[in-house]
Amino acid sequence: MEEIIFPNQIRMYRRLRGRSMQELADHLSVSLSAISKIEKGYRRVDQEQLVRVAEFLDCPLQDLFVNEQNSQAEVVQSWRREQERRNKINEKSGLKTLGAGLRQIRNEKNLTLIEVAESADMTLSVYHRIEMGQREVSDKEFKNIAKALNMEPEALKEEIKSLDDKGMLEEIIQRNDAKYKLLSTPRGAIASFMAQSAETTKVSVYGTAGKDGDVLIDMENETKKVPCPPQLANKKDIYAVNLCTRRLGSVLPTRSVMFVDPSDVVSVGDIAIYYATPGEAKILSIREDENGQLYGLRWNPDERIEIGNDDLSKIHKVVVINL
């Protein structure tokens, strides 16, 4: 899943709920140090982890983000100071020139962010930050990027230097700076989380409210189309489902859209669509009992849904959630 870094209120909600950092670390299966960095907005997490944090803290997912109107002023200021610090470091290390050069060369070769990221064995988020001049690049990563651009590493370095000497990168750097200034605010960071790139196709969305919190899904009648998340662009079987039920609890707002990959394998901690009948589905959180058997959990009220081995083909994994 797409990795993100964002200003958050996880620590505030954790303390309000009387939960310890160790409990949250155990829930996410990460180290105590990782939780500390996540709470400070310094460590990247993915959307599945965010959903699990919201579930653990019993709060709406969107409330985990810093809100300039309702969040503590020192939290907002801390986020801004961190972004300014990183920006100064990047200026000194020449990362902006590198990122602008890569973007210029990629565009000249008519390649998309997704194509280069995948060929370089990177997530879209990581490569996007490199082009934005906001992430350092190791020698191995640079070689992978050069290969993705069908160039030798030394030739790529020389080409970037040549573009810089000709003054061809200044405009890109200025555009990146303007975009980064937007992303340096809590509102902009959330927008970045919701859509890393405009290079998307459209995905059909299905689902209307059924009885007892079920979702009626008729593949012959879509309710709308929405942009496909960039990281799913190469998935052929992706479809989307409206979250038109409160049986998932207060973790997600009802306007959310869940992107589903029927070919992906579900595991513990996933959210999934379970087709009780061909046109009627339940939204479940996948859990595991003491015998290692998977089952589904619904809330409001709590309900355990048994999952047999013959049912696995009826379960489609939710891979991305747009709020």
Q: Six-digit token pair at 95?
A: 């990362």
Regarding whether 58 and 113 lie in a shared domain, the answer is: no
Residue 87 pLDDT class (50, 70, 90 cuts): low
Regarding whether 99 and 183 lie in a shared domain, the answer is: yes
Residue-by-residue DSSP string for 293-307? -EEEEETTTTEEEE-
Residue 281 pLDDT class (50, 70, 90 cuts): very high
Regarding whether 308 and 216 lie in a shared domain, the answer is: yes
Domain count of the fold of the chain: 3
Regarding whether 310 and 287 lie in a shared domain, the answer is: yes
**Residue at a domain's end among 140, 161, 194:** 194
Residue 78 lies inside a defined structural domain of this protein: no
Of residues 272 and 229, the one with the higher pLDDT is 272
H-run or E-run covering 108:
helix 95-108
Give residue 136's pLDDT.
Answer: 78
Give residue 45's pLDDT.
Answer: 75
Residue 83 lies inside a defined structural domain of this protein: no
> Is the four-CA dihedral 114, 119, 121, 127 of positive or negative sign?
negative
Regarding whether 316 and 206 lie in a shared domain, the answer is: yes
Regarding whether 240 and 313 lie in a shared domain, the answer is: yes
Give residue 177's pLDDT.
Answer: 59
Regarding whether 251 and 155 lie in a shared domain, the answer is: no
Regarding whether 315 and 235 lie in a shared domain, the answer is: yes
Let me know: does 314 contact 275? Beta carbons within 8 Å: yes
Q: What is the pTM of this model?
A: 0.45
Give residue 315's pLDDT.
Answer: 92
Residue 72 lies inside a defined structural domain of this protein: no
Regarding whether 261 and 174 lie in a shared domain, the answer is: no
Of residues 19 and 8, the one with the higher pLDDT is 19
- pLDDT at residue 2 greater than cutoff 60: no
**Residue at a domain's end among 175, 194, 213:** 194
Regarding whether 94 and 48 lie in a shared domain, the answer is: no
Residue 71 pLDDT class (50, 70, 90 cuts): low
Q: Six-digit token pair at 206?
A: 């299905």
What residues make up the domain containing 59?
3-65
Residue 132 lies inside a defined structural domain of this protein: yes
CATH number at residue 142: 1.10.260.40
Give residue 3's pLDDT.
Answer: 44
CATH number at residue 238: 2.10.109.10
Q: Which residues, in sequence order, are bridge partners of residue 7?
A: none
Of residues 34 and 236, the one with the higher pLDDT is 34
Regarding whether 187 and 216 lie in a shared domain, the answer is: no
**Residue at a domain's end among 171, 194, 217:** 194
Regarding whether 208 and 182 lie in a shared domain, the answer is: no
d(CA 145, CA 139): 10
Of residues 126 and 209, the one with the higher pLDDT is 209
